Amino acid sequence: MANVTVIGAQWGDEGKGKVVDWLASRADLVVRFQGGHNAGHTLVVGDQTYKLSLLPSGLVRGKMGIIGNGVVIDPEALLSEIDRVIGQGLKVSPETLRIAENAILILPLHGAIDRAREAARGEGKIGTTGRGIGPAYEDKVARRAIRVCDLAEPETLSFKLDELLLHHNTLLRGLGAPTFEKQALLDQLLALAPRILPYVEPVWERLDEARRAGKRILFEGAQAVMLDVDHGTYPFVTSSNTVAATAASGSGIGPSATGFVLGIAKAYCTRVGSGPFPSELFDDVGKLLGERGREFGTVTGRPRRCGWFDAAMVRQAVKVGGIQGIVMTKIDVLDGIPELKVCVGYRINGKKYTYLPAAMRAQAAAEPIYETFAGWSSSTKGARSYAELPAEAVKYIRRVEELIEAPVTLLSTGPERDDTIMMRDPFEG
Domains, the chain, with CATH or none? 4-100+199-260 (3.40.440.10), 104-196 (1.10.300.10), 265-428 (3.90.170.10)
Phi/psi region, residue 206 (left: phi>0; alpha: psi -120 to 50; beta: rest), is: alpha
Q: What are phi and psi of 164, to 5 degrees?
A: -60, -45
- Whether 31 and 71 have beta carbons less than 8 Å apart is answered as no
Strand order in the sheet with 64-67: 200-201, 97-100, 64-67, 29-32, 217-220, 4-8, 260-266, 325-329, 408-412, 420-422
Number of helices (H), then strands (E), belonging to the chain: the values are 12, 20
d(CA 191, CA 109) in angstroms, rounded, equals 17
Pairing of strands 41-45, 48-52: antiparallel
Supply the residues annotated as catalytic.
13, 41
Mean pLDDT of successive 10-residue stretches along the chain, which has 429 residues: 91 85 89 86 76 88 94 96 93 96 97 89 78 94 96 96 94 92 96 97 97 95 95 94 96 94 97 93 94 78 90 97 96 96 97 96 97 95 92 96 97 85 87
pLDDT at 39: 64
> Whose CA is closest to 322, among 231, 428, 425, 421?
231
Could you tell me the pTM of the whole model?
Answer: 0.93
pLDDT at 205: 97
DSSP result, 360-389: HHHHHH-EEEEEEEE--SS--TT--SGGGS
- Cβ of 164: how many Cβ atoms within 10 Å? 21
d(CA 180, CA 134) in angstroms, rounded, equals 18
Residues 6+ apart with CB under 8 A from 67: 31, 32, 54, 55, 56, 73, 97, 98, 99, 100, 103, 203
d(CA 25, CA 211) in angstroms, rounded, equals 18
- How far lies 44's CA from each of 81, 177, 212, 214, in Å? 17, 40, 33, 30
- Whether 251 and 221 have beta carbons less than 8 Å apart is answered as no
